[in-house]
Structure 1
């Protein structure tokens, strides 16, 4: 009853980043089931770091779309490259450059447009690089019949499933294969996981500071503000910064609440109103080294 009366309605409506806006009509051509939605998105978006596997070399201009936050602008970019209906797969070189966050935001956009409760989760997957927990985003949708949130990795098409040796259903990702950031933080705090295995291999970065950053991004996404993987604000640590005890305690509490965000919805909302965690009107795009409005 809690889900149905409180949380679900919140996640069944488009948010600031997940409104299709002027492109809402395009979504009518997208299949209704999560697997069909993911398959459609895989024909529209190409991951910036895996483009070479598809025989594509991205220009700097192509890569600019990875900094786009709102789904409406992502859809504008897709249509600008190829104005056919979205259920027509584009050739890899015609797909919009993005990353796991972009696949996830578009998945959530389509589901919410149809009134299906959905949300983005930020954390780490253990299936993209052996022995590592790679920075990653997936989507969740509420299955009323099973009465549970189901995780979907919308990025992994057939080529990537073979490339990464995926041995599970990517439309029902096991929760011990993708760890939401709060789970990663809690395991490391308990000594059950090594924080130096959590990060991004392509930049050779990992550690407590990375987990804390994803913890704040996950909390923001649970508040329906899905930011870029390199956006920073508030209490988020700098790269390789030693986190002081006050913030460690803050992140302990944030991890506890985000592990079960529905049960702790009111507590999480109050905690995220703290100026150290609250998403401000302007965040720092760390890759472009500039402040940008959200």
Structure 2
């Protein structure tokens, strides 16, 4: 995949002109991203109603449309926290990817788990990777840089963020307790099934379908009652591709295109943390559809 090209999800559309004047260096660019977004759970503001529904912005052009309706100013103009668009780690990562691709820089979102939010906890997380001409650099654009992290959040050291495939391998080997992997220790969204679903999310994002973390399709499930061998094989291919194996990357691309269980179809299932009942979305028309009866 050509990671300099916008996808249906990262494309700023009519708002591309807003990206033209953005800085090209990572510290300043990530500061712009944090000026536009606020985490719906960790931003210190309790969002409800339509404001909470902002977390379901699946497409960057829709996210920028919301910002412009509310603020109507250049993206570098300071916004008060309450005027920022409510989102999550995926939105910080994808908006940064959109800005980098707009500048011709190869960039992609990565799905996995971070070890640096709570001791002993592997928090589900999305970060950005960009190609600096020599290697893929991992950036957590959601985080304000600071010495208190103990590492550079704009060039993450190995091990601080692990891909879903890497965590799945550790889980299957008995090296990682699945109960320490998920959204939050106080919530039921954790465990082996959660890691498995994130392997499919990781693949989708790498193939240019940068969907929401609560979108569902195909082989995803909330248990581990199925044959896990195909997931093991998929994770192995993802890890090999990350290590530079072009044959593995090609096999992943082909399997993703050919296997309907691996990629979203025309419609996806949405179980949003905004509290709305589950529903479907037509990805072509962007229309919200009712959940099937029965």
Does the alignment reach a TM-score above 0.5? yes
Match of 1:156 in 2: 143
Residue aligning to 1:33: 25
The aligned counterpart of 1:237 is 221
Residue from 128, 140, 143 that aligns with 1:139: 128
Equivalent pair of 1:209/1:243 in contact (CA under 8 Å): no
1:290 aligns with 2:270: no
Q: CA deviation at 1:260?
A: 3.7
> Which residue number in structure 1 is paired with residue 175 of structure 2?
192
1:85 to 67, 74, 80: 74
The correspondence of residues 87-102 of structure 1 with structure 2, limited to 5 A, is 87-102=76-91
1:57, distance to aligned residue in structure 2 (A): 3.3
Picking from 16, 19, 25, the partner of 2:11 is 19
User: Are 2:77 and 1:125 aligned?
Assistant: no
Partners of 2:78 and 2:249 lie apart in 1 by 39
Matching of residue 176 in structure 1 with residue 153 in structure 2 = no
Distance 1:227 1:157, change over 3 A: same
Mark the runs of 5 or more structure 2 residues left unpaired by the alignment: 284-294
Whether the 8 Å contact between 1:100 and 1:137 is mirrored in structure 2 is yes
Aligned equivalents of 1:203, 1:283: Cα separation in 2: 24
Whole-angstrom distance in 1 between the partners of 2:79 and 2:259: 44
Give the match for residue 218 of structure 1: 202
**Cα displacement string for residues 90-112 of structure 1 (whole angstroms, at most 9, x for unaligned residues):** 11011110000000110110011
* Structure 1 runs, 4 residues or longer, greater than 4 Å off: none
- Alignment correspondent of 2:287: none
Partner SS for 2:250? helix
Q: Distance in 2 between matches of 1:44 and 1:252?
A: 38
For each residue in 1:48-80, what CA deviation from the matched residue of structure 2 results, as whole angstroms up to 9, or x when unmatched? 00121xxx3323211111001111111111111
The residue number in structure 2 matching 1:4 is: none
Corresponding residue SS for 1:291: strand
Q: State the Cα distance separating 1:197 from its structure 2 match.
A: 0.8
- Computed over aligned residues only, the root mean square deviation of the Cα atoms, in angstroms, reads 1.5
1:62 and 1:31 map into 2 onto residues whose CA distance is 28
Long gaps (5+) in structure 1 = 1-6
Match in the other structure for 2:96: 107
1:67 to 56, 60, 65: 56
Equivalent position of 2:289 in the other structure: none
